[in-house]
Amino acid sequence: MIIVTTSTLQVPIEICATFAFALSGLIAGARKRMDAFGVFVITGVAAFGGGTLRDVLLDRRPFFWVEHANWIWLMLFLCLFAMVFMRNRHIQLTERAIQLPDALGLGLYASLGTQIALELHLPVIICALMGVMTAVFGGVLRDIFCNEIPKAFNDHQPYAVIAFAGSLLVVTLNGLNFSQWICVFVPAGLISLLRILAIYLKWRLPSWQIESNR
């Protein structure tokens, strides 16, 4: 019988999540008409920003992208290939083109970040917040580098809220002693599905109403 642990799940999950967020960063940089270096930086920030923040706060060394440095080469080739491919095909880079890979990365990173924190025996709320930070802050840094207010803060869509709920589900499934692959993949799939539904059904969170002083 093969026992699946977080350590065996981490590499394939981070590869998939990193690729998804890298793709969203690449599209964001291309939409801003940045040069090759700018696109590469935005792609890297989107792909590695949330995981790096998690590793800093949890004092995990080496950082996951330092330990797997070949991913940076793959990201470089991805940027070069995508710029040539998109230019030759004249692909239209819409806002939704960013949101779909972002939804996949959101689910995978939220689940993995929570699971990693759980293995360090941290309090439930800290584990959930680690999942949210891992999933959300790559996109936050991507938007900041693109000179925009982070969409997670002002588009009124349930983005971080979905990640937080999914992270709590990871904690709950672990508490019920489900196998770790179930604890990671079931919440990841649910988070991504809810995020896609939020995009297509235009779910909105209530805005903060402040009466202006007269």
pLDDT at 13 over 80: no
Q: Helix %, strand %, coil % for the chain, to 5?
A: 75, 0, 25
Longest dimension (CA), the chain: 71
From CA 22, how far away is CA 11, in angstroms rounded? 16
Instruction: Provide the pLDDT for residue 117.
Output: 93
pLDDT digits (tens, 9 = 90+) for 109-149: 899 899 999 989 999 999 999 999 999 998 899 889 888 88
From CA 98, how far away is CA 168, in angstroms rounded? 26
